[in-house]
Amino acid sequence: MDKPKLYIINPHYDDFLSVTLSKGKNFNAKYGYLIKSENWQDYFSPKDIFFLNTKDQKIDLDAWINLNKINENIKLKKFRVNIFKENDIVIISSNMLMSLWGDFYAQIKKISQDATLIITINHFMWKAPVLKKIFKEINTSYFICERSPLIYSRYLEKDEIDALKVHKIIEIPYVPNQIFRKCRKKSKLEKCAIVGQCLPVWRNHIFYQRTGFEYFHKIRRNIKIKFLNNDINLKIFDYFGPENKFFFNAIIHKLIYKKTIRYILKILKIYNLLERKIKSIATKEMNNYYKNSKPFKDIFKEYSIILCGEEDVLKLPCLGFFEAMMAGCVPLGSLHNYYESLGMKRNIHYIGFDGTYEDAESKIKLLKENPSKISSLISKSTEFIDKELSPKSLIRKILLELESD
């Protein structure tokens, strides 16, 4: 009997599964741990791991291998549909799935019939109208996502929910960049750093159309307003979020997206041109924000407490929460059911609060009166992420979920 094999489709083109050459070495691929042979070593030898290539265009493969520190025994193979066996595992991201579906739908359907297909999903709502059609076509497969999209089912269409329910969802948090380990220090400021962008959502974005919210992060938005109104306690907080009062691109897009104005602009055949111009401005604004922002790794080196604010409208965690833990800081969190489902305990592995600035201030004031408690929280938080949320631990969890079926 052949040994099971692990196949990963187009990781060298997929910035969810690897650091692509276009992104560069400082980029963190959210599912990058899935392509590292050392994380699979208890289950697959490198010679039984294959990267499948569907594209004809050439890239500097050696540069990509060096950038991602790929085991030299892993081979790149041309994508062929008749190589998969029942016990094989095939991994593809939802973005790559959508990209390939038009040309390879028959082959992908066959994979879902012959092997175990795993699809990594990031922000399902954004892609739900497309993915629901694909999910109805393939056999029962496994979805890896930071939290089940069903948690925000009130914002999904019935057929989108039905398409999800046919498959098995495995909740796996994103693995922070291991570089944050270098931020662990014995001595840090006993203050809370407020971090994270809160860019406005465009009117034609599916998030706005489904939820009616103009921002992904209510917590971050509310704290930004308090900061701009000089209403933050700077004795216990330092603010590193955006400081601009307005985003020019959002104001203009809100204006031209009004039904009557949009109709007139489309008749004049200038709506699409204007939208492209506004997107160009939006890109510049966003790039300027990141360019002028203090890097997280520098903040995490200095501060013992981090408030990054979850994507609270959809009840989704944010990567910054886990990056803070990796960096030897203690984060504030409000998604208690989710964190506890991962095995964390409130006020032991993270600081629990109700998602408001006032409660965060109250909790941190109490902590500052008890510095030993801060040290204990950091110690427990770091121990937990090293043991329970390491790449090897998460892969073990994935395989246990597969075996349970």
- 318-377 pLDDT per residue, tens: 999 999 999 999 999 999 999 999 999 999 999 999 999 999 999 999 998 888 999 999
Q: Please say whether the beta carbons of 183 and 297 come within 8 A.
A: yes
Q: Please say whether the beta carbons of 21 and 64 come within 8 A.
A: yes
DSSP reduced 3-state for 74: coil
Distance CA 195, CA 301 (A): 13
CATH topology of domain 178-241+293-388: Rossmann fold (3.40.50)
Q: With bands split at pLDDT 50, 70 and 90, how would you rate the model's confidence at 51?
A: very high
Write down the pLDDT at residue 43: 95
pLDDT of 181 strictly over 80: yes
Q: Please say whether the beta carbons of 69 and 99 come within 8 A.
A: no
- Mean pLDDT estimate for the chain: 90
Distance CA 47, CA 348 (A): 42
* Three-state secondary structure readout of 36-67: CHHHCCCCCCHHHEEEEECCCCCCCHHHHHHH
CB-based burial of residue 194 (10 Å sphere; 0-12 exposed, 13-18 middle, 19+ buried)?
buried
* The Cα angle at residue 40 between residues 39 and 45, in degrees rounded to 5: 130
| Domain extent listing, the chain | 6-174+391-404, 178-241+293-388
Q: With bands split at pLDDT 50, 70 and 90, how would you rate the model's confidence at 246?
A: low
Query: Among the listed ranges 71-75, 117-121, 377-381, which one has the minimum average pLDDT value?
Result: 71-75
Write down the pLDDT at residue 344: 96
Q: What is the pTM of this model?
A: 0.90
CB-based burial of residue 72 (10 Å sphere; 0-12 exposed, 13-18 middle, 19+ buried)?
exposed
pLDDT of 245 strictly over 70: no
Q: Please say whether the beta carbons of 324 and 330 come within 8 A.
A: yes
What's the pLDDT tens digit per position in 270-315?
A: 888 888 887 787 777 777 777 778 888 999 999 999 999 888 899 9
Element (H, E) at 351: strand 351-352
DSSP reduced 3-state for 25: coil
Write down the pLDDT at residue 212: 92
User: Of 3.40.50, 3.30.70, 3.30.200, 1.10.287, which CATH number belongs to 6-174+391-404?
Assistant: 3.40.50
Q: Cβ contacts of residue 98 below 8 Å, gap of 6+? A: 127, 130, 131, 134
Average pLDDT rounded to a whole number, residues 259-267: 83
Of residues 405 and 129, more confidence is placed in 129
pLDDT of 92 strictly over 70: yes
How many C-beta atoms surround the C-beta of residue 391 within 10 A? 16
CB-based burial of residue 57 (10 Å sphere; 0-12 exposed, 13-18 middle, 19+ buried)?
exposed
Q: With bands split at pLDDT 50, 70 and 90, how would you rate the model's confidence at 1?
A: low
Q: With bands split at pLDDT 50, 70 and 90, how would you rate the model's confidence at 39?
A: very high
pLDDT of 9 strictly over 80: yes
Q: Find the distance separating the first CA and the last CA of the chain, reported in whole Å.
A: 21
What's the pLDDT tens digit per position in 70-79?
A: 888 888 888 8
6-174+391-404 and 178-241+293-388 in the same fold: yes
